[in-house]
Amino acid sequence: MKFFVDTGDAAEIRDLASTGLLDGVTTNPTLIAKAGKPFIPLIEEICSIVSGPVSAEVAATDYETMIKEGRKLAAIADNVAVKVPLTPAGLKVCKELSDNGTMVNVTLCFSAAQAILAAKAGAAFISPFVGRLDDIGHDGMQLIADIVNIYNNYPEWHTEVLVASVRHPMHIVDAATLGAGVVTCPPDVIRKLYHHPLTEKGLAAFVDDWKKTGQSIL
């Protein structure tokens, strides 16, 4: 499974990239606003930090403006994935950009039917929002299971399932169990994967026992 971090904070991205665990980055207008930096220079900076896909979202909703924005974003760097909404206009932009070799991330997916449309349009990534579905009483991970199963039936489709709106580590574990190719989550959720009370307890015991030996490795 590939790990993408969902943030516009370049410092966080740089820190996570240094671990070797980071495969890409996703951003959206909300995260860009939170970062408080000019959009295009920020995407340029992020693309210089990571070699994997960096999702940069269009701001328009009509086809004519979206395609212009998409082309401008794609020109920033080879690893930009243009992010478009799962709307008729967005899928039209997806088809055109994908046909010309640009990675496209189709976002705001909430049904398997929508995921089929994105794959047909040539999307590199489909972003189902599991946390937002959970919030309204639906089973977000069941949607992931459905999309993975459908995509597995059609090897000619090359769209990767990018699990988004991830709220906690079990979303990541469940997505991996179901065979999703990518998960994107906030930095703090990635860091929570490290933690287990038995690991911390065991390490504390080992450190204490080593001190009792009075030895030094260095």
Identify the domain containing residue 104 by its residue range: 2-213
pLDDT given for residue 218 in this prediction: 94
Q: Is residue 218 part of a domain?
A: no
Residue positions annotated with a catalytic role: 83
Contact by Cβ (8 Å): 55, 23:
no
Residue 100 amino acid letter: N
pTM: 0.94
Q: Is residue 181 part of a domain?
A: yes
Q: Is residue 200 part of a domain?
A: yes
Q: Is residue 141 part of a domain?
A: yes
pLDDT given for residue 139 in this prediction: 97
Q: Is residue 8 part of a domain?
A: yes
pLDDT given for residue 20 in this prediction: 93
Residue 43 amino acid letter: I
Q: Is residue 21 part of a domain?
A: yes
Could you read off the pLDDT tens digit of each residue along the chain, which spans 218 residues? 999 999 999 999 999 999 999 999 999 999 999 999 999 999 999 999 999 999 999 999 999 999 999 999 999 999 999 999 999 999 999 999 999 999 999 999 999 999 999 999 999 999 999 999 999 999 999 999 999 999 999 999 999 999 999 999 999 999 999 999 999 999 999 999 999 999 999 999 999 999 999 999 99
Q: Is residue 70 part of a domain?
A: yes
Q: Is residue 166 part of a domain?
A: yes
pLDDT given for residue 143 in this prediction: 98
Distance CA 83, CA 167 (A): 21
Q: Are strands 103-109 and 54-57 parallel, antiparallel or unpaired?
A: unpaired
pLDDT given for residue 126 in this prediction: 98
Number of domains in the chain: 1
CATH of the domain at 139: 3.20.20.70
